[in-house]
Amino acid sequence: MRIVSTTEEFDFLVQTHYQEMFILASSPDIARHVLDRYNIGNRNIRPKTVERLARLMRGGHWKCKRGTSPLKFDKSGREFAGQHRLHANISADMTVYFNVLLDLDEDLRDIEDDVAPHQNQDNDPNLKKDITAICRALTGMKFGTDEERRFYAYYKDAIDGVRSMFSSQPGVKVAGVMAEFIKAYETVPIGKLKYIARVLCSGIPEGLKGDTVIIKLRDLLIKKDTPAFTNDKGVLEYWSKVQSVIKTVAEDKNPRTLKDLTQPVYSLEGDFLEIIKNQDNI
């Protein structure tokens, strides 16, 4: 694949409507040039996103490989995908490699402008790890890369929302726990889910009805009390106890025990996962 490493060559490809994907070896100066000249009328910058990407770059985790989402420019030369990566390139103060596509239809630009900004799964190793584990926890199956991408695209709001609720507390931030929060994301008030996650991560009661049972669950998770989560077949199942806590807190009950519930079934249908809900989860 062609590698471009100067602003002059990049500008020439834009002006001549070059239509093959190429790699841009982007120094901070090249990133500034591209942003100054081609980043017109784009979305507002999200500083936290820029800093997160810059950390990945500085840590050597940034990947430019086949399938990684490219920087995108329309037929007029306007950039419509990639400004956060270029700002992160400047912040990281190092040369970074990007795939680039030029001369794309304005219709594609308008479609991307209408959708919410997405996270690049290839370049966030923690996100990729979490998605793989959550997929397995929800379905009992090992997904391929394309299936994981479709899964993330379909459940992005829930996955991003739940991941933001948890600290990296060992024993608490496990796939089986996050999977149950994702199931409940559309049906349980977000404030209550955040409350459960806070107490699970901190172990500090907040003077609410659910404190005792959440802390009991936390103790089981932190101590890795596997018998408490092992079913009759000897398989670890977090869902029953975590689901019970979520359900009782959501209903403003005063839970004293961790009762079992029936687990919903998930299946892959076409381009996305369908949740087949059972009676206990309607």
Unique residue bearing structure tokens 């995908």: 81
Predicted confidence at residue 129, as pLDDT, reads 84
Query: In whole numbers, what is the pLDDT of the chain averaged over residues?
Result: 79
Predicted confidence at residue 127, as pLDDT, reads 81
Q: Give domain limits for the chain.
A: 3-120, 125-281
What pTM was estimated for this model as a whole? Answer: 0.50
Mean pLDDT for 218-237 is 78
DSSP secondary structure letters along 78-109: -EEE-HHHHHHHHHHTS-EEEEEEEEE-HHHH
Band (43; pLDDT cuts 50, 70, 90):
confident
Predicted confidence at residue 107, as pLDDT, reads 59
Mean pLDDT for 138-142 is 76
Q: Is the pLDDT of residue 215 over 60?
A: yes
Which CA distances in Å does 202 have to 71, 75, 196, 214, 237? 40, 52, 10, 11, 23
Predicted confidence at residue 27, as pLDDT, reads 96
Predicted confidence at residue 161, as pLDDT, reads 86
Predicted confidence at residue 33, as pLDDT, reads 96
Mean pLDDT for 3-21 is 95
Mean pLDDT for 97-111 is 76
3-120 carries CATH number 3.40.50: no
Measured from the Cβ of residue 84, the count of other Cβ atoms closer than 10 Å reads: 22
Contact 186/158 with Cβ under 8 angstroms?
Answer: yes
Predicted confidence at residue 265, as pLDDT, reads 39
Q: What are phi and psi of 103, to 5 degrees?
A: 60, 40
